[in-house]
Structure 1
């Protein structure tokens, strides 16, 4: 049975001015080109053939029935796209017999002729335009550079320069090709948050961005985003390849993944262009030369680059491009690579790392490694709280216990503690891992920010006795619950003369989840309370993943 319009709708449409126009209507599958929003949907079009304008267009699911065509048609009559005005056509033509019969039944009493024609010339022309637009899609990389750049990027990934190079230890790569003079490479990844290579086109851009980031405590996230987009650089970043089966799996550190799950991405940032995840021919040439030169430099100088002091090194390479000249001969370019210890010192001083008055122990801080996030078991329950002094004495006598100092004051309502509750096997492994490092030296909180999302974080950090730093929690700094917990934490640490503790408990899935009893607690590690100045790693930036 064919549906029909209700009486009030019919009367409303009958009041519309009826023109002598002939409208074309159709629905067709969308192209599967990458840039389409609905690759598997269908597009419904209603076009005024007399005026040559699209009165209405909708994208619908392929499974939707002919009612969707009617909905778009009614909109074309009552609320058409500009510059068309509300009207009722004299005639409608379609190229589908079933749709013709359906419309005849629905549009009864509207005095509209519904005809079938095998071809719809105006709609055909529009769809050809859609197809041509899809064919002109610009690839992310020039075809001749796509595979060479990908291989070179994965070679950089395997070399892992972030294991021994910090972001401020800049390497100059002199190319002098395609309007590119020298690129200044900054290696991201030592903190285990974002891996990649930034290739700045000038030292000025590098200095300007780092100055903006280092002053972020006084700037809004919007200003930080603006500073990010004002960089002048080419980039290579790494992200995780995902599929439908593991989209919800959250692995923070890409370094834990096999290389088959690592996907390189390339792009450009410029103050007048913003962020562009596409490289054109000249840019791809420069990036290929820079990555090839950097890869060779890392291989040959790895030991010296890993030294405590950033050395002055220089090397020259002759590099063959993966393209040929007009005579079909391989193009070879001379590239010079230099480290920049003086610039590294300047950038280090900008961050305040050279100011001994800023930190409690500069010698110890200079030996700190990367911030790691592989200590605390996944899905652990985490909380900030306090245990009474009686409970502390019980724990000292009955569980694995490592004390920090006898200078701790037993005033206040108890010992401020971080509670990590997990399964018994994972708790046992965690305790053994901490014992192997010599225990917990300090517990602190450090600021972090997402310059694109605009969120600011309070990052919980553990420092082990061997100097390593481990992330144990990420808290939004505007969360009222965390704000209250941090306030009490700071007050209690003052009363204990700067001491706190880490409790590891079992019973994650049991009735005691979140409220472990004494029998569930397996270890107490006493430690110093650390300020951001004590940690000395500055505000950590959560960098975006480019697509």
Structure 2
């Protein structure tokens, strides 16, 4: 049996001993567990003579008997107010094992440890705790909790934020439970917050956007946030995992939830209303509305993923019949889902997306010709990122072209790395310099008219207006899809700035993993969207030339 150090015993014996009887016990907060999250035991030490709680802790169910002693020590040395540090004359417990354990541990402190079948003060306290816990409103109605969580994870796996921006609104016409049409806004393309906002009116959505754009004062933004009228689903990292990582010095300040496994993601549902404020609780009808809205959105995204991924927000609509839980009187309802390109355009105009500065960066003519003779066929190619620290070394140690004042936001500068032999690398660098340097990097859709294949074409634009093909990727390749998602996010962080690295060493030990010494040139540029490039889908011709 573990006992106190002699110095600890001497310290505790110096506390004044008062003629009081303390009650001590450990038990679950509630007589029954409502969910797997409701785990833990509560340890209480109460001064029965004065009727005050001296110490309380909540510990894991599997915590050993030492836990009750730790709480007792705090009750003696650092008790809750208004109690003063002291040790009791007598302790009573209702558990024989706890009694014998405490007798062994406290034998030097001159405290009597007795057994009693009942602890009146603690019994009353725990009855109060249980009533509070049992009467708490759950975050989700129990009969819908599992259903809503499954829909939330289906949304997470569908990743609508990979191709839908927040202003690209999708309407969901339900006409049930006093809800007419919801207006879904998808958050996550910026890699900061992921979720779905379901506005009860387009006016509420526009008012909030206008308020955010008008004022960047924190207090005013908070007030605007609370004036929204919407239901929501958001995602965050599991709180228990965050606690485990609190001491990790390597945590990335800009960690992207999308890079975590789904097991570490937790959905949260709730409601925002001007008169209610924010509450992370859904009631029965709200839960049904959210279920129907999410199921409709999942189906719509699945059916129109390719069209929604196009740079121009398309006009689409579709009707669905959504099944309701078996407990409901109504078995299913009809729902109409549609994109709202006009509303999206209005929100973009509010945000000032079409600014003169942007037009200056992407001046016309955008391109003169498309060539595939710049990058050697046997080159190693990768989409990645260069840390800000390494970027400093590259800018000083290799042939370097600067693009602008790049703010070090995120994990680094997104780059296309092309590794080839030293002679061919020198030729590529010289060709880019002869064309005036690198202007932009773009991924543009390409299609094979002879089949069903769709490609993601990697293009380099030089400052003389020429386009060069550097890579051809299958549109449904999961590795490339993930690399592109990270590329898009990193470009968002850097306000569109990116880079091209030309490296040697294709036939050496560093093949596929070029080191700093292998890198020969860094060309900085900007990332262009297909819409900004403005050449449409490129058709692969039989002679393997793009027109």
Q: With structure 1 as the length reference, what TM-score do the two structures score?
A: 0.59
Counterpart check, 1:383 vs 2:391: yes
1:471 equivalent in alignment to 2:459:
no
Pick from 229, 232, 235 the counterpart of residue 232 of structure 1. 229
Mapped to 2, the partners of 1:183 and 1:175 lie a distance apart of 8
Q: Aligned equivalents of 1:226 and 1:505: distance in 2? A: 55
Count of residues paired in the alignment: 451
Q: Which residue of 2 aligns with 1:359?
A: 359
1:116 equivalenced with 2:115 (yes/no): yes
Q: Check conservation: 1:57, 1:72, Cα contact below 8 A.
A: yes
Partner of 1:183: 182
Deviation at 1:304, TM superposition (A): 6.6
- The one-character-per-residue Cα deviations of 1:189-221 (angstroms, maximum 9, x if unpaired) are 556766543211232432244345556xx8477
CA distance in 2, matches of 1:382, 1:222: 39
Shift of 1:337: 4.0
For the structure 1 residues 316 and 126, does the alpha-carbon distance in structure 2 shift closer, same or farther, using more than 3 Å as the test?
Answer: same
2:416 aligns with none
- Residue 428 of structure 2 corresponds to 401
SS at match of 1:359: helix
Q: CA deviation at 1:3?
A: 5.4
- Map Cα deviations across residues 502-540 of structure 1 (whole Å, 9 max, x no partner): 244669999xx99733xx23x6464x6449999989xxx
Equivalent residues of 1:439, 1:525 under 8 A apart = no
Specify whether residues 472 and 280 from structure 1 end up closer, same or farther in structure 2 by C-alpha distance, changes over 3 A only. Answer: closer
Residues 192 and 390 of structure 1: is their aligned pair in 2 closer, same or farther, counting only changes over 3 Å?
closer
Q: CA RMSD in A?
A: 5.9
Distance of aligned partners of 1:26 and 1:190 in 2 relative to their CA distance in 1, 3 Å threshold = closer
Cα distance in 2 between the residues matched to 1:228 and 1:506: 53
Q: 1:209 and 1:243, CA in 2 relative to 1: closer, same or farther beyond 3 A?
A: same
1:284, CA displacement in angstroms? 1.0
Mark the CA change 1:23 to 1:279 in structure 2 (over 3 Å): closer, same or farther.
Answer: same
The unaligned stretches of length 5 or more in structure 2 are: 367-380, 402-420, 439-455, 464-468, 474-483, 534-547
CA 1:272/1:54 → structure 2, altered by over 3 Å: closer, same or farther?
farther
**Deviation for aligned residue 1:351:** 2.4
Alignment of 1:66-215 (within 5 A): 69=68, 72-73=71-72, 75-77=74-76, 79-84=78-83, 89-97=88-96, 99-100=98-99, 113-136=112-135, 138-150=137-149, 152-153=151-152, 161-162=160-161, 165-189=164-188, 196-211=195-210, 214=213
Distance 2:300 2:357 in 1: 36
- The 1:388–1:229 alpha-carbon spacing in structure 2 relative to 1, beyond 3 Å, is same
Contact conserved, 1:316 with 1:334, CA < 8 A, in 2? Answer: yes
Residue pair 1:152, 1:292 contacting (<8 A) in 2 also: yes
- Residues 22 and 160 of structure 1: is their aligned pair in 2 closer, same or farther, counting only changes over 3 Å? closer
Q: Deviations over 1:436-483 (max 9, x none)?
A: 7244669xxxxxxxxxxxxxxxxxxxx9899989739969x9xxxx9x
Taking structure 1 as reference, are residues 287 and 10 closer, same or farther at Cα in structure 2, changes over 3 Å only?
closer
> 1:238–1:263: 8 Å Cα contact kept in structure 2?
yes
